[in-house]
Structure 1
Amino acid sequence: MKYYSLLFVLFIALSCSKKEDETPLQNEDNQDNTDITDSFDGSGALIDFVTNNASSLPDVSRLSGRYRAALTDNSDNKTLHFNQEQGRLDAKLVAFPFEFIARNIGIGTIENSQIAPTSENNPYNFAGVQVHVEDFNSINSSHVVVGHRGATGFTIEGKNTLNGDSSVNDIGENTVPEGRADIRIVGNKNKTITVYWQLPNLTGHSASDNWTAYNGTGNLPGTAPTYGDNVYVGLITYAFYTTGVPFVGTCDAIEIKKPN
């Protein structure tokens, strides 16, 4: 009887040990399915973001519950995202399929981030969302940004950059009259993306969302990069030359989840 009792105790011990060893693997598998909401609570450095080219735009932080990027210097077009230029990107690594929403993202003045600067003298001033291939050394990305696009003020610009060659258009002048919008990017199962926008939904309830496909199709101009299983998706703020500088790019919150 003692022999069988000993075997039974060993069986229970080994079973418990096996379950403990498997738990981390199960948690890792579930990470891809975990919804993430970041409301940028408090003030300080961004939390759990991966940053590319931080030195091009050093003043990026959480400030009073918002992402805030103060663009005060664009010498040598160092903040620019266009053709071979890659400015700063603060991103999360996500797996297809995914849904990424940026709430109340856009441009403002240094004095008041929620009041857009004027479009006088045709500035190129933007804040928005970029999808980038997993290798930052590869100049392949797609982005959707809110702001002023030269003579087309208060608009949303879409851009595909394929091997350092950018194709760009916008949705028209004064389509986002406050210089702010919500941006939604859906990463599809086939590793393509579909883009949507709306005027800011400030209710805090997703049931009030009313998304519009970018330029009626949800497709960005030109040829999109070929994306792998994972991409970086995050926030950018940039200018082309110095007209309109300084300004700030802000965002109230981001949401990342698996599509239904």
Structure 2
Amino acid sequence: MKADALLVVATPDGRELGRVGAPKSLTAAQARLRVLQRRAARQIGPYDPATKARRAPSKGWQHTQARIGRTHARAAALRRDVLHKATTFLAQRHQVITVETLNASGMRSAGGAYKRGLNRALADAALAQIRRMLAYKTRWYGSTLVEVPRFYPSSKTCSACGRRKPNLTLADRTYACEHCEVMIDRDRNAAINLARLGDTLHTGGTGTGTGSRPAAHQTNDGRVGDGRGATQETATTPVVNAAGRETSTPHQQPLDQTGTASPQGEAA
């Protein structure tokens, strides 16, 4: 079980616009942190385990703790940079953005030591920060944020036929529908379902027509079908270019003048 994709961007008609990989800045800093923490354990710290009393720490211990703090600060800055660029890109380029209201802290509260790596990956991804950033950036750039309840079965629902697969586990990274025999990436399937639901909620249940056509999916023989039997060659999905510069004040850009926003009703 891994948390490789931080964001998967898809439209109601089944097109995957791209993905933003998880920064994994804390994971990359683990080796350095282990060295520093072991060094600090050998130095004179503020607690004496023999007498169980506090004491004045040594200069070396204080210096090591400062290096540990700088390592954590750098990991947080790298993570924040990726999140700011990705959320700014989405808020500027899409009129409607749909996200799940995930219980990020609850996802890490249980499991014990056997899912320690997954808990660290979820914490490193900072899922709650994404929704918080999108909340104010959509107001800055004039787009709309649609929040879907956490209990909506976006991953367990087939985006081609609408059937649910209740026995889908977290280890299943490919969604294989038992009814229409569609095989699709789990995250892409969930992103399409969320985009369609957000499009419906945004338009008051009428929809805009962008989600009425079945999405293109890969069948068991390796081809891509549109949900009605027709197939086409697999196209390469472009990667989202989240480049941009974030500032402390909003730069309001009218969506009907810049041309950077998607057409009205297109959800991500």
- TM-score band by shorter chain is under 0.3
| More strand per residue | 1
Q: TM-score, normalised by structure 2?
A: 0.22
